[in-house]
Amino acid sequence: MTIQLGDRIPEAVLQYIEHGVHRIDTNTLFDGKKVVLFAVPGAFTPTCSERHLPGFVANFDAFHSRGILVACMAVNDPFVMQAWGNSQNVPDGLRMLSDGNAGFTRALGLEMDASGYGMGMRSKRFALYAENGVVRGLWVEEPGEFRVSSAEHVLANLPG
């Protein structure tokens, strides 16, 4: 079942690289914080690299000024996420998270089968906004779309 507004973020462990590979559980990531997490089907893919991540990079300060942490997630390994972040000049503080085995993505109910494209199980393109581990905003794209999970759309539609 897909996560809904008012649901708690499910427990899972993600990875990131910062002077080595680190694991972070979703409780640590979300509890006591305001967080925008956006997910892409794959690092280095066209829409993700040309529009989705660059929009959050360009609007990072607007989120930061509202006390909102920003994280990008993909079903890729942490080394790929680090390389992609470096290639996109991701600012310090925008965390590039790996859900390598899609465990968190499945727990959210936002997985998609991209086997037809040679990519296996991936995340749908989405953005969510959570306060203290509870989903307050959720924007899931239709297949092939990129509108509602953009940084600009999320900023304009943050609750409160």
Show which residues are catalytic: 48
Q: Is the distance from CB of 114 to CB of 121 less than 8 angstroms?
A: yes
Compute CA 66 distance to the chain's CA centroid, rounded to the nearest angstrom.
18
* Burial class of residue 72 (count of CB atoms within 10 Å of its CB; 0-12, 13-18, 19+): buried
Compute CA 102 distance to the chain's CA centroid, rounded to the nearest angstrom.
12
Cα–Cα distance, 116 to 119 (Å, whole number): 7
